[in-house]
Structure 1
Amino acid sequence: MASFSEIVSKSDLVLVDFFAEWCGPCKTMAPILKELKSRVGDKATILKMDVDKNPHTASQYQVQGVPTLMLFKGGKLVWRQSGVTSAQQLQTVIDQY
């Protein structure tokens, strides 16, 4: 399996969902991200990153709360937001890039 940095650097657009199993709002994001994937298709890769299983990556990107969503374009962080967001809002952000 490819590492986080490989996926982010080799994919054009990657939306990363930093989440935790115990987080209620994170559970709310799951169906939203599924809907988003059906809207954007192959335009963006959606990657879920469990902060408890990947503390180094969460720390590297200064994730203070979950869910935190980050959009990477060509390996560079171009957008981030904490909290639950709608599929429409996320699609609008992805469409900008």
Structure 2
Amino acid sequence: MNIQSAFNIGVEGFQRAQQQVTESASNIARQAVDSANVSASPEVVQDGQTSATLLPADRTQQSVVTELVNLTVAEHQAKASAKTISAADEMIGSIIDIKV
């Protein structure tokens, strides 16, 4: 395996983890806003009565839990990628020391 490719793989993995964190955080924020907006603003139905449409609490909770798990997975992916980058960096340092 080429050292440069190991470094690139580490960087790409770290970037994917960062994207996952951004996406999961955005989904959690969106669910919080959607829950607040839906429960705070009632809808008017055809017969003139108002009814608040709430998201089922268990579905929202499940979605938040799923996103929190995704955040944890992204954290582990970032740590593993950082170790890969560090190992590639150490290899480059070793090679430079050997050649000098």
TM-score by length of 2: 0.26
Specify which structure has the bigger relative contact order, considering alpha-carbon pairs within 8 angstroms and separated by 6 or more residues: 2
Larger CA Rg, structure 1 vs 2: 2
Q: Which has the higher strand share?
A: 1
TM-score by length of 1: 0.26
Q: Which has the higher helix share?
A: 2
